[in-house]
Structure 1
Amino acid sequence: MKGVNPADASRVLKTLVDVWDTAAERMLLTVARRLARGIDEPGWAEQKSREALAVSGELRGIMRQVPTEETAVAALQEAYALGERAAESLGERFVASNPSKVIRLATLFARKLRGTYVPVTRAHEDVFQRAVTESELLMQTGTMVRREAVASTVDRLLTEGVDRFAAGDGKRWHLDAYVRMAGRTVAQHTMIEGQLDGMVARGKDLVVISDSVRECRLCRPWESKLLSISGSSVGAEVDGLVVVGSVAEARAAGLWHPNCTHRADPYVSGLTRVPEPRENPEGYEQQQKLRRLEREVRQLKRTLLAVQQLGDTQAARDLRRKIRVKSEQIAAHTEASGLNRRRERERLVGG
């Protein structure tokens, strides 16, 4: 009997992630198209300065249109149901639904997403304003026409991450990457809660953490270990195995971090076979390298999306070349490591 697969978090979040990806794309296009408008006309810089408030209004409007609460509730209801179905392998059907728990998790998640509205808007305002000012300074060198100067400046600003925002963890995030991280974390948590609630409803208290070929240092101590859902069985011996801790303790120590691949398999005395843990830190590093390459190619495509609004510039041509090179690196890495290449993770929308 297997517990819910954490990888399913991506599937239940697809609609929500697509909505936010589209919002992120629209914000970037708003800035780039405003910069491109009238770029060959005299007095361009002065006109752009007068448009700053209008750009801010457009950006805020995009963020206000994102249906956060409804999409979060729908995604987490599906996640919880997946967890419940995993518990049904234990036999008799029970209605273990906990709608208040799902609503609470969805509300917290939606609040976290709403907390991005102001910093994301300000970050894109900075891109617009700095692109105007710094491209004018670049033109003063006398080596570039305005279109090339603006394209080069936008390329540099986005590469430097000026469109990123500071989250509560102190890191600077692109909106799409932040929504993916926060969403997968809460969806994974909700799926596991659905499974554990279903097990408790059936009078089951023990799970065994699966062995993963891509474990990290946080998860490795818990692989193939028995855990108590309630905590009441900690220290007990079952089939010669000691229940080493509670689910809450393992989670607090780092188990089920973002992108974790471990399951909590139901443990049935006399039936469940506990796998031998196999350390494979290389597998984790290979997966992390692939995630990094995927982020990098999305960053290049994000930058190209903005830069190409300014026409066929040298910056746009360079970005297309870099995207081809990065795509070749991903192909080589997946072939060498045996990891699946998921091209949707390389796209701006739908990854």
Structure 2
Amino acid sequence: MADELSPHQAEELARRIVELYARAEYELLQRLATHLAKGLDADEHWTERQLLELQRFRQAATVILEKLSTDSQAVVAEIIGAAGNRGAALATLGQAVSGGIASTAVDPYAVTAIAAELDMKLSASRGRIYRSVDDIYRTVIAETTPLVNMGTMTRRDAAQRALTKLASNGVTGFIDRTGRRWEMSSYVEMASRQATKEAAIQGHTDRMIAQGHNLIIISDVPQECADCRPFEGKVLALKPDGQHRTLDDARDAGLYHPGCRHSQSRYQPGRTRSFGETADPEGDKARQKLRYLERQKRAALREEAAAMDDDARAKAKAKAKAYNAKIREHVATTSAKRQPHRERAGFTAAR
């Protein structure tokens, strides 16, 4: 439908933010491995030397994160505004509207508030990134020394083992309102996609109301989750009308949660078709497994970034290749749809 708002039409904008943070994480891990490798094979005083290298790494990390902050703020303002305008434009397409109503602007305060909230979340995330990589550096040093002293392995092997384990987890410690913990790339993607979706919905809803339309219908999507499944095909009111459940009520009950892929479009009584039961729980399970495989492949790519020699790099590449094969098999045998951009971790071609 011409006036249908699909989250995917706005979420593609969020990829720009995700790419910024993925690149920063990847570069930080590369820098971390470089500094830890200084004097690793020949220096008897490697542990003492690492106190100086830690300071140098912190300086490099600060530069990377300051650039990330500048770039992130500019991109957030741009994409949230674009998402709001896109939502409004979709509500206008195909409408015969008189009196200039179609040119009514999206509520700038609402869109600005969405951008400010996202920027606040991302700003807090940058502090967590710095603390996380600093902790990784200290932990590698702390775990390496005892293993070397016991004579169980070389300093290089011990340091690489500790770094690989920590890099596999990535930058963690991100906690959402429900208490769920996220890895950095997943958290930034979730927050950015949700904000662009919120802005698009705001623009779409504002424009629908301005055009005198109060009813919308929620789409059917495959592989839907249990939270938003009850709203598929339901007619909702943008403003209370005494007959229909409102969009705000539906959202409070789970519709348009982070990751929700449903869309909304104008409902015209007597003309718009609804639909019956469309539950797809098996599809949801397939999609969730694909998300798991994507996370594992990203972990392997982070291990590659943190490799201190060719052997460790080859092992990480082999692991990433194995998960790539699992992803191919999974999408070939289930209804899950592959999204290659979700499998990247800092765009390894940048090495």
TM-score, normalising length: structure 1? 0.90
The DSSP-based 3-state class of the residue aligned with 1:275 is: coil
2:305 equivalent in structure 1 = 305
- In structure 2, runs of 5+ residues without a counterpart are none
**Cα deviation 1:103-151 (Å, max 9, x = unaligned):** 1110111011001122221110111111112112222332322222211
* Pair 1:181–1:277, CA change in 2 (3 A): same
In the alignment, which of 196, 213, 218 is matched to residue 204 of structure 1? 213
- In structure 1, runs of 5+ residues without a counterpart are 236-242
**Cα deviation 1:185-222 (Å, max 9, x = unaligned):** 11111111111111001011111111121211111111
2:25 & 2:220 partners in 1: Cα distance? 37
* Pair 1:290–1:199, CA change in 2 (3 A): same
The DSSP-based 3-state class of the residue aligned with 1:13 is: helix
State yes or no: 1:179 paired with 2:180. Answer: no
2:75 equivalent in structure 1 = 71
Bigger Cα displacement from structure 2, 68-77 vs 92-101: 92-101
The DSSP-based 3-state class of the residue aligned with 1:272 is: coil
Q: Once the two structures are aligned, what percentage of the paired residues are identical?
A: 28
1:183 & 1:59 partners in 2: Cα distance? 23
* Pair 1:162–1:96, CA change in 2 (3 A): closer
2:171 equivalent in structure 1 = 163
2:72 & 2:108 partners in 1: Cα distance? 18
The one-letter code matched in structure 1 to 2:65 is: M
* Offset, 1:320: 2.5
**Cα deviation 1:298-323 (Å, max 9, x = unaligned):** 1111112112xx1123x444322222
1:175 & 1:50 partners in 2: Cα distance? 27
2:114 & 2:33 partners in 1: Cα distance? 36
State yes or no: 1:346 paired with 2:351. Answer: no
State yes or no: 1:116 paired with 2:121. Answer: no
C-alpha contact (below 8 Å) 2:25/2:171 kept by paired residues: no
2:4 equivalent in structure 1 = 3
* Pair 1:350–1:193, CA change in 2 (3 A): farther
In the alignment, which of 135, 160, 163 is matched to residue 151 of structure 1? 160
C-alpha contact (below 8 Å) 1:206/1:227 kept by paired residues: yes
The DSSP-based 3-state class of the residue aligned with 2:10 is: helix
1:52 & 1:350 partners in 2: Cα distance? 25
The one-letter code matched in structure 2 to 1:346 is: E
State yes or no: 1:321 paired with 2:318. Answer: yes
2:41 equivalent in structure 1 = 40
The one-letter code matched in structure 2 to 1:124 is: V
1:350 & 1:319 partners in 2: Cα distance? 15
1:254 equivalent in structure 2 = 254
C-alpha contact (below 8 Å) 2:5/2:264 kept by paired residues: yes
The one-letter code matched in structure 2 to 1:61 is: V
1:297 & 1:6 partners in 2: Cα distance? 25
TM-score, normalising length: structure 2? 0.90
The DSSP-based 3-state class of the residue aligned with 1:90 is: coil
Bigger Cα displacement from structure 2, 288-297 vs 49-58: 49-58
The DSSP-based 3-state class of the residue aligned with 1:49 is: helix
1:269 & 1:90 partners in 2: Cα distance? 16
C-alpha contact (below 8 Å) 2:174/2:183 kept by paired residues: no
C-alpha contact (below 8 Å) 2:114/2:195 kept by paired residues: yes
1:57 equivalent in structure 2 = 59
The DSSP-based 3-state class of the residue aligned with 1:53 is: helix
2:266 equivalent in structure 1 = 266
The DSSP-based 3-state class of the residue aligned with 1:207 is: strand
1:192 equivalent in structure 2 = 201
1:238 equivalent in structure 2 = none
C-alpha contact (below 8 Å) 1:59/1:121 kept by paired residues: yes
